[in-house]
Amino acid sequence: MRIKNYTFEGEPVLMDFHQFLGCTFRKCRLVYCGYSPVQMEGCRFDDCRWDFSGPAAATLHLLSSFNHFGGEMGKTIVKQAMTIINSPPPQPVPPSATPPPGSGPMPPPPVAPAAPSGPSAPLPPPPPATPPISSP
C-alpha cells in the first residue's frame, strides 16, 4: 500500500507491504516482520523504535550467531551481509514496466511432492550392491 505525506504519531506501524513517501514518524514503534520489501523515500523519523519479528528477527539472530560463534567463516558471512546492506537498494520496477500476465517466460514445471517422512513412512529400498573389483 502506498502512503504519502502522512504523519504517524505514538502508534505501532507495520512496515511490511508498504511504500512510505514523505511520511513523518514521531514516537512510533516501527515493526518489520520481513514478509516483503519496504520502500521509504523522503521520510522523517523522530524518536522512533524499531522492532523486528518473524523472518526479519530470525535473520538478525542467525547473523548474530554467525558473528559470535561462526569463527572466521561466520565473520565472512556477516561481512558479506554488511556489503549488501551498505549497497544502494535496487530500484523498484514501475507497474507500467511489468509485462501483462501470460506474456512472460513459461513457469517452471511443478515439483513432485516430497515423500512422507516420520515413523509411518516406509523406508526406501537399499541401493544395489556393487560387485567387488577383481584384478586379473
- Between the alpha carbon of residue 94 and those of residues 91, 97, 98, 128, the distances in Å are 9, 5, 7, 55
pLDDT, one tens digit per residue, over 114-125 is 444 444 444 445
| Interatomic CA distance for residues 74 and 71, integer angstroms | 5
Q: Rounded to two decimals, what is the model's pTM?
A: 0.61
| Interatomic CA distance for residues 80 and 76, integer angstroms | 6
Residue 130 pLDDT: 44
pLDDT above 90 as % of the chain: 63
Residue 39 pLDDT: 94
pLDDT > 50? residue 8: yes
**How does residue 131 score in pLDDT terms, banded at 50, 70 and 90?**
very low
Q: Which of 93, 80, 86 lies closest to 39 in space, CA to CA?
A: 93
How do beta strands 24-26 and 2-4 pair? Answer: unpaired
Residue 102 pLDDT: 56
pLDDT > 90? residue 108: no
32-40 long-range contacts, Cβ below 8 Å, gap at least 24?
32/56, 34/58, 34/59, 37/92, 39/92
| Interatomic CA distance for residues 136 and 78, integer angstroms | 55
Q: What type of residue sits at position 81?
A: A
More confident residue, 40 or 96: 40
